[in-house]
Amino acid sequence: MTLTYGIGIALILAIVAYVAVVMNLGASVFWHEALIVGAVTGLIVGDVKLGLTIGATLTLMSLGMWTYGGATIPDFMTGAILGTAFGALPGVGLEGGLAIAVPAALLMTQLDILGRATTTLFIHGADKAVAEGNVRAVTWWHLLGQLPWGLTRFVPVFLAVWLGAGPVQAAINGMPENLMRAIKVTGSVLPALGFALLLTMMPLKKYWPFALIGFILFAYLKVPMIGIALAAVAIGVIYLGLKEVRANG
């Protein structure tokens, strides 16, 4: 049973990780989402359904989480790539993929901090170029500033996928039991925390009937999330239409 990929797949997935995190610095934020990179990884390794499942699970964990004020959060993007890649290997599957994806996402916070700290070298270089009035150098310092971000994802993804699931799983298994227990607890709490943060941002006191309708559809009528989303769109259109009629009437 082969629990590794060739250097070609490892290189492609590393490039996907590099591009995704760099694109996150600009306007195309959605490329960094675990659901997107999970699907792309699934397409590359031949199991799109697995990629969507792992990506959706990690996206659910990340709801409401963002790098506010420069804070470092779990790198669910890298977790989705590694979880999907290893989950697609023979004998690993969805549960094994998630067992790798969640710890990997949490452990990547350390490399995220390294990437953020290293960019200061390029910032100081750009500051010096500005003081000298060298516009061309400022441009190059700005463009090269993406390297720390991209390489902090490119290198670990390439090495992990190239070395295979065995060494990665062995590294995870070698973690202290208390740390693994904390990771599992954190992974369970993150979805609830994400929803709680979203609810605090929403005008729930004003529109609580809509939240109640969604809860009833899910908890009592067992309507799938896609069905609830479509119902929400229909209710929203009707609400806005009635509001416009009332304003014009």
Q: Is residue 1 part of a domain?
A: no
Confidence (pLDDT) at 12: 93
25/118 same-domain check: yes
66/183 same-domain check: yes
- Split into its structural domains, the chain has a count of 2
117/194 same-domain check: yes
185/219 same-domain check: no
Q: Is residue 138 part of a domain?
A: yes
Confidence (pLDDT) at 4: 64
Give the three-class secondary structure for 161.
helix
Q: Is residue 2 part of a domain?
A: no
Confidence (pLDDT) at 44: 93
192/235 same-domain check: no
186/161 same-domain check: yes
Confidence (pLDDT) at 218: 87
Picking from 201, 221, 241, the residue at the C-terminal end of a domain is 201
Rounded Cα gap, residues 15 and 30, in angstroms: 17
Confidence (pLDDT) at 1: 42
In which domain, by residue range, is 214 found? 203-249
Q: Is residue 15 part of a domain?
A: yes
Q: Is residue 225 part of a domain?
A: yes
Q: Is the CB of residue 59 less than 8 Å from the CB of residue 69?
A: no
153/227 same-domain check: no
Please give the distance of CA 49 from its chain centroid, rounded to a whole number.
17
DSSP secondary structure code for residue 202 in this structure: S
Amino acid at 125: G
Does this model's pTM top 0.85? My answer is no
pLDDT tens string for the chain (249 positions)? Answer: 445 677 888 899 999 999 888 887 765 567 788 889 999 999 999 889 999 999 888 887 777 666 655 566 788 899 899 989 988 887 778 887 888 888 888 778 777 777 777 888 888 898 998 998 888 898 898 888 888 888 889 998 998 888 875 666 666 666 677 766 665 666 566 556 666 766 777 787 888 898 899 889 988 998 887 888 899 999 989 988 888 888 886
Rounded Cα gap, residues 66 and 64, in angstroms: 7
177/126 same-domain check: yes
Q: Is residue 222 part of a domain?
A: yes
220/189 same-domain check: no
